[in-house]
A and B are shown apart, each in its own frame.
Chain A
Amino acid sequence: MNKPVLPNSFRTGPDAAGRFGTFGGRYVAETLMPLILEVEEAYKAARADESFETEWRRLLKDYVGRPSPLWFAQRITEHLGGAQVWMKRDELNHTGAHKINAVLGQILLAKRMGKKRIIAETGAGQHGVATATACALFNLPCTVFMGATDVERQQPNVFRMKLLGAEVVAVTAGAATLKDAMNEALRHWVANVTDTYYCIGTVAGPHPYPMMVRDFQSVIGEEARAQMLEATGRLPDTLVAAIGGGSNAMGLFFPFLDDESVAMHGVEAGGHGLEIEGGHAASLTGGRPGVLHGNRTYLLQDAEGQILEGHSISAGLDYPGVGPEHSWLHDIGRVQYVAATDKAALDAFQLCSKLEGIIPALEPAHALAHVIEYAPTLPKDHIILMNMCGRGDKDIFAVAKHLGVEL
């Protein structure tokens, strides 16, 4: 732990301009610029204040149920016959996913800033539910922007958000999915500057959001690192996490970035296959750099620079961009990015349910799909640690439909 900081540390970003290498930044209209500079200042001040950290940690422990357990998935390991498969159980968090970690941090920040209401975007609805939950706890009015297509696909989460007291706005602009919900949230924020805080759900958006959400989600990797050392006396060999915007992966990876022996694999949504334009949501392995939603990053776009709709069986992964820090880690080769198809994720979803008694969300089912392919090629003393970042309750209707089962 007392190792000197390596001069080539991977953990020093972003720079003052919010950049990870050439990625990130603050590509927003002037109308928004003063707001994000204000968030950045407030975040710096909060991090320097011990009481902020103490309150956040208290909420994580007593409200969320952290630390989440580290689980050795023995039956899956035996089934695959290669590397050991371990799972960081963030699906056991209150609200059922990792999203709540960063939401609570951001809501505490919003309160410090004196903001009176919260807005958020959501795709599958997990971030919306987490935000609505925190707003109920702190008695703050909450408006969640959700693409009209997603509202239709994710009725249970829409109902949850409403139960929690949030207003859900169905966004019909554009293709009416996650990216359009984010556009609409940004527009709403600009028009309601003085009293509103925008709680972004992933490690994307203008600086400081990618840094801030990563910092909060790093609780996953910090816990996992200590738990793995305690359980096995050593670090894992390979980390695996699913990537949409990339918040759960960034949270797991970041504390390990300077551990040279630890390999990392980010798993994007391969949808119907990377060879099909518009058939996947793999921005890193199937896109190219551009500017969207305030940051320079890998994007799904056509030859004219118009943004494409991603496709994935998982509504939490079909975002056409990815966090800028992932783009940087991809370019410098510190993290390997791969893709898993809808079909592989569905198979993993069922296997995990049957062998471990854990119904995973479709997002980590993509991570597991990669593990299923990779683990058998490795020796039995190799340790794979994957992030089980969400539970599958929200997905059972969609999965049933894909399997041809009527509920």
Chain B
Amino acid sequence: MSRIAQTFAALKAEGRGALMPFLMGYDPDLATSAEILRGMPAAGADLIEIGCPFSDPMADGPTVQLAGQRALKAGATLGGILAMVRDFRQGNDHTPIILMGYLNPILSYGAERFCADAKAAGADGLIVVDMPPEESQDLAPFATAQGLDLIRLIAPTTGDERLPGVLRSCSGFIYYVAITGITGTRSATSADLAVNIPRLRQHTSLPIAIGFGVRTPAQAAEAAKVADGAVVASALIERMAASLDAQGRATPATVATVLGDVRALAAAIHAG
């Protein structure tokens, strides 16, 4: 059983949903993001998403865009982020790591080599934002061969005729995009979730995580209850960005701010 499947199974037995915080690798610099990563499990992260920056992130709102720009300026590369994961695994063997990014840097790295290196570094799953099932031919075979889960985004606009095909191509868990829009710009509504999560359940037995509109501990708790997990990204990045100095450098408050927020999110989810 993969780390991702094990984690969701254990949480199900506990009767609660998963907290999946996001951090952009190398934002604002390698050492700070590595320290945040190391601290996240103890702060209550059940799974962790690491963003791999791309110059043209067309599904992301301003907050994640700026995080990516800071990361690229700090020298982020796919190889560097895989090294971050490898270091993290020295001290943690149980928290699943999901790499989230865009296709072009992966193709440039070499899809087959990337999947092999990601697996060797200790990553568990991939989310490739601009790779719908129809365009998976260049990556999916290699991910499957390495036992990396390929996690798919499902949108509110994904209709019933399209849904089964997308779900069939998915493994690990389903990432439900809770808003029609880009990351961090709106909040998910309970009404949409109440309709769409059961609709997904009819077609899949995979766990469902909700992202793209989950900002507060209360929203995270609700998402983790309605579905199986909540992804929080922009809200954490905004607070981290606010902790930086005028030159965009980390301050003593940076790591503590982010991990404190993760703790608050976890507490809300645990309180259910």
Interface residues of A (CB under 8 A from B): 17, 25-35, 37, 173-174, 179-180, 183, 186-187, 190-191, 193, 290-294, 299, 301, 303-307
Contact = CB atoms under 8 A, between A and B. Distances in A.
A191 B62 CA distance: 14
Nearest 8 Cβ contacts at the A-B interface: A305-B108, A191-B181, A305-B105, A29-B59, A31-B155, A30-B153, A306-B55, A34-B157
A26 B55 contact: no
B103 interface: yes
Contacts of A31: 59, 153, 155, 157, 177, 180-181
Given A174-B56, A187-B61, A290-B104, A305 B158 contact: no
Contacts of A290: 104, 107-108
A31 B152 CA distance: 11
B231 to A, nearest CB: 15
Contacts of A173: 62, 65
11 contacts: A30-B132, A30-B154, A31-B180, A33-B132, A34-B159, A187-B59, A187-B182, A191-B179, A292-B104, A305-B104, A306-B54
A26 B134 CA distance: 8
A80 to B, nearest CB: 41
B106 interface: yes
A305 B53 CA distance: 11
B62 to A, nearest CB: 7
A176 to B, nearest CB: 12
B135 A183 contact: no
Nearest to B61: A187
B185 interface: yes
Nearest to B130: A27
Given A174-B56, A306-B54, A307-B55, A26 B129 contact: no
Contacts, number: 115
B182 A17 contact: no
Nearest to B103: A291
Contacts of B158: 30, 33-34
A397 to B, nearest CB: 29
Contact of A291 (B57, B65, B130, B159): B130
B222 to A, nearest CB: 21
A56 B105 CA distance: 41
Contact of A193 (B129, B132, B154, B157): B157
Contacts of A35: 157
Contacts of B185: 191
A154 to B, nearest CB: 21
Nearest to B177: A31
A30 B212 CA distance: 13
B82 to A, nearest CB: 13
A190 B177 CA distance: 12
B182 A306 contact: no
A173 B59 CA distance: 13
A17 B153 CA distance: 20
A37 to B, nearest CB: 8
B11 interface: no
Contacts of B78: 304
A88 B99 CA distance: 50
Interface string B111-127: 00000000000000000
Contacts of A193: 157, 180
Interface in B57-101: 57-62, 65, 69, 72, 77-78
Q: Which of the listed residues A174, A186, A191, A306 has the most CB atoms from chain B within 10 Å of its own CB? A: A306
Contact of B107 (A25, A305, A306): A305
A390 B179 CA distance: 41
Contacts of A187: 58-61, 181-182
Contacts of B60: 187
Q: Which of the listed residues A30, A193, A303, A306 has the most CB atoms from chain B within 10 Å of its own CB? A: A30
Nearest to B134: A26
B148 to A, nearest CB: 19
Given A28-B132, A30-B155, A190-B181, A304 B58 contact: no
